Structure 1
Amino acid sequence: MSKIDIIATSTFGLESVVAEEVKKLGYEGAKVENGKVTFTADKLAICRANLWLRTADRVRLKVGEFKALTFDELFEKTKVLPWAEWIPVNGEFPVEGKSVKSTLFSVSDCQAIVKKAVVESLKQSYHKSWFDENGPLYKIEVALHKDIATLTIDTTGPGLHKRGYRRLISGAPLKETMAAAMIQLARWRPDFPLHDPFCGSGTIPIEAAMIGRNIAPGMNREFVCEDWPAISRTLWQDARRETHDLADYDRPLEISGTDIDGEMIHIAKENAEEAMLEDAVTFKRLPVHALSSKASHGSIICNPPYGERLGEKKEVEQLYKTMGQVFAGLDGWSYYILTSFPEFEQFFGRKADKNRKLYNGNIKSYFYQYHGPRPRTRNK
């Protein structure tokens, strides 16, 4: 079993970003589909993908894929898959599922069939009639789409956005994976300034600092598959050693965040300390209308209020007008703004050079991109 199929799941709209990350890890031939990127690699890739992918939701091991129009088909084709190559005799293997545009539309029935088939497969491999399931966790998913069943096992555990540094969060926090995607889509260069004028709990500046210093986002957390006998501890040791070898902890960065809410600034500072990046980012309380910079180039990347709540529309319209006026005064800067507000460009006062549809949670949003002139050298 030298090569295996791995699926990196993602938020809709970020598949190409995840695919680019997979390629940077050295894995070619990634297949991009809605909500996922599939690639073929070795067991070490499971460790490295979990540690390094900044914009994926989780990493899944693909056990098999086939067409299933009946429950008998689903059972028999699931049963012959190599479950014992991954799940030990004491493994815990709950089954979850989903079905879209498929003949087998009852998710609960599909889950029950797959569970039964895996049990029968393991019975044949281990010559046992009962499994206690008191060992490592192997969360199986049966996903049916247009009658094609994909059987996977989650290798991640808590989602990849759980970096471990954000102990304190604001009421509607931006996921770390989305923040990292915004930074990568902005093509920010670590040798130029980056500022977030609506930093909240500090997610965008902290993610930028991690990118700037090449710190693996999963370096300081654990993953469910670390307990799997099929993935040796040596592979994990090698993968984690790589994260330390490649990190540039001393690289100087000009990353900052401001917010009108002083309590959020306090939380952002605590989160930066938790991430051990307090020397890489600065936070201070400042309303957006007071924003200014002496730097001739840089990037503003932000996730301002959307005005989703009743009665906030007029306030948000005025906020976007102010943003347009203030950002226009930052000659040479580029700015990248994520919002679901439908008339954003109208109130901001300028049409974006480019926009991209993204889903921030379940909210359809647009990432408005305004490109400044390309700087030739770093401005001090």
Structure 2
Amino acid sequence: MNYTLIATSTFGLESVVASELKELGYDDLKIENGKVTFQGDERDIVTCNMWLRTADRILIRMAEFKAITFEELFQGTLAVDWGSIMPINAFMHVTGKSVKSTLFSVPDCQSIVKKAIIEGMKRKYNTDWFSEDGPEYKVEIGLLKDIATLTLDTSGTGLHKRGYRENAGGAPIKETLAAALVLLSKWETSRMLADPMCGSGTIAIEAALIGKNIAPGINRSFISEKWGIIPDNIWEESRRYARNAINDKQFNILASDIDGRVFRTARENAKKAGVEEYITFQKMPMQDFSTKKRYGFIITNPPYGERLGEAKEVEKLYKDMGQTFEKLKDWSYFVITAHPDFQKLFGKDATKNRKLYNGKLKCYYYQYLGPKPEKKFYEKEEQHSS
């Protein structure tokens, strides 16, 4: 069966999600704020959940219609053939949101939608009673400028939950955002990558997963695995394909931090993700970072100075970063921060920057692009790896 699918994302990452979808072979993409819409079947639901690194969830769009009265909302929901996806014992969970719409009471909208779904299921299954002790189906009613969109969540737990990060540092970056930082940098495994303020290791781990072509969803489950519409063999085939797709590239990522406690966590996380052999962990202050390697990359998420009393420390850190990174000739460095004066403190304007959100914090991703390596650099790397 063909569905209209939506890959949701953090604001600012829509084009990254779209690039990932194109890499997976999808076209006719519609890019909007916080989402990319495309067409796909049951196999595509599995593929996108398994492989998308920067999307938050994969939703099925069940319907879209104008609703300025509860009756219009009820009738629009009732018109959907819910029984084509949901079994008679489905456990239905309805969430909602409303932005700039006449129907602004979210609890009322959720209640109307649930009643309409049950009414539709009564007609489909010719019964008045539902046990709701079967697989879970998360329906969302989203209202934007009086347009109602009904979606069904196929992911369950957000896609940033890869399964390797049970423990995190004080202010961890989401796995999906960390992966986006690596993809936006255009890092390649022939060049060294370092995160000198690695915290719980998320950027380094996501880079290693990308470098090894390890599917981000390979070690987790999804809510739609329990649905009858997707045969078990499709999930099995997808996981088998993902295991076979892991490459044999060898590379080394440097991850260092001054905080020994989060550092131990970073090591554990890398081990759980199956990439510990590709990351060298070291307890070290950022100011001591140095290397003779050429054409490397730094991707890092330093403290932002949001907490009371941290501002002066963070300002000094940014100045130190500028001095430390300046010594790394030929390197490219990429820094995400919410601090408004980062470039001034760092002492250099970025080649380009991009607005992104880390949680609810508006940040900028400052990209300092170094020179491209000479041809002999790649020849030397090829000799070294063979």
* Residue matched to 1:256: 254
8 Å CA contact retained: 1:259, 1:265: yes
* Residue matched to 2:304: 306
8 Å CA contact retained: 1:213, 1:247: yes
Q: Using the alignment, how far apart are the partners of 1:139 and 1:358 within structure 2?
A: 28
Matched, 1:353 2:351: yes
Matched, 1:142 2:141: yes
* Residue matched to 2:60: 61
* Residue matched to 2:245: 246
After superposition, the C-alpha distances for 1:55-80 in whole angstroms (9 at most, x for unaligned) are 11111111111111111111111101
The residue matched to 1:62 in structure 2 has which SS? Answer: strand
Q: Using the alignment, how far apart are the partners of 2:235 and 2:84 within structure 1?
A: 18
> Which deviates the most, 344-353 or 368-377?
368-377
8 Å CA contact retained: 1:193, 1:255: yes
* Residue matched to 2:165: 166
* Residue matched to 2:333: 335
Q: How many residues align?
A: 378
* Residue matched to 2:361: 363
Matched, 1:188 2:197: no
The residue matched to 1:323 in structure 2 has which SS? Answer: helix
* Residue matched to 2:150: 151
Counterparts of residues 10-159 of structure 1 (less than 5 Å): 10-159=9-158
Q: Using the alignment, how far apart are the partners of 2:127 and 2:239 within structure 1?
A: 36
* Residue matched to 1:208: 207
1:167, distance to aligned residue in structure 2 (A): 2.2
Any runs of at least 4 consecutive aligned residues in structure 1 with deviations exceeding 4 A, and if so which?
A: none
> Which deviates the most, 194-203 or 237-246?
237-246
| 2:141 maps to amino acid | V
1:310, distance to aligned residue in structure 2 (A): 1.1
The residue matched to 1:50 in structure 2 has which SS? Answer: helix
Counterparts of residues 281-320 of structure 1 (less than 5 Å): 281-320=279-318
| 1:44 maps to amino acid | R
| 1:184 maps to amino acid | L
The residue matched to 2:178 in structure 1 has which SS? Answer: helix
| 1:47 maps to amino acid | V
Q: Using the alignment, how far apart are the partners of 1:272 and 1:109 within structure 2?
A: 45
8 Å CA contact retained: 1:59, 1:155: yes
Q: Using the alignment, how far apart are the partners of 1:34 and 1:132 within structure 2?
A: 38
8 Å CA contact retained: 1:90, 1:132: yes
1:244, distance to aligned residue in structure 2 (A): 1.2
The residue matched to 2:170 in structure 1 has which SS? Answer: coil
Q: Using the alignment, how far apart are the partners of 1:356 and 1:172 within structure 2?
A: 21
8 Å CA contact retained: 1:12, 1:35: yes
Q: Using the alignment, how far apart are the partners of 2:262 and 2:98 within structure 1?
A: 40
| 1:209 maps to amino acid | A
Which of 269, 282, 304 does residue 267 from structure 2 map onto?
Answer: 269
The residue matched to 1:292 in structure 2 has which SS? Answer: coil
What TM-score do the two structures reach when normalised by structure 2?
0.96
Q: Using the alignment, how far apart are the partners of 1:50 and 1:190 within structure 2?
A: 25
* Residue matched to 2:384: none
1:234, distance to aligned residue in structure 2 (A): 1.6
Q: Using the alignment, how far apart are the partners of 1:338 and 1:269 within structure 2?
A: 22
After superposition, the C-alpha distances for 1:327-353 in whole angstroms (9 at most, x for unaligned) are 011000000000000000000000111
Q: Using the alignment, how far apart are the partners of 1:235 and 1:296 within structure 2?
A: 44
Q: Using the alignment, how far apart are the partners of 1:30 and 1:67 within structure 2?
A: 23
The residue matched to 2:116 in structure 1 has which SS? Answer: helix
Matched, 1:178 2:177: yes
The residue matched to 1:74 in structure 2 has which SS? Answer: helix
| 1:260 maps to amino acid | I
Which of 320, 323, 326 does residue 321 from structure 2 map onto?
Answer: 323
Q: Using the alignment, how far apart are the partners of 1:296 and 1:197 within structure 2?
A: 16
Structure 1 gaps of 5+ residues are none
Percent identical: 55
8 Å CA contact retained: 1:192, 1:254: no
Q: Using the alignment, how far apart are the partners of 1:311 and 1:235 within structure 2?
A: 53
* Residue matched to 1:199: 198
Q: Using the alignment, how far apart are the partners of 1:172 and 1:317 within structure 2?
A: 18
The residue matched to 2:137 in structure 1 has which SS? Answer: coil
Q: Using the alignment, how far apart are the partners of 1:151 and 1:10 within structure 2?
A: 17
8 Å CA contact retained: 1:340, 1:364: yes
The residue matched to 1:366 in structure 2 has which SS? Answer: strand
After superposition, the C-alpha distances for 1:145-190 in whole angstroms (9 at most, x for unaligned) are 0111110111111111110111221111111001000001111112
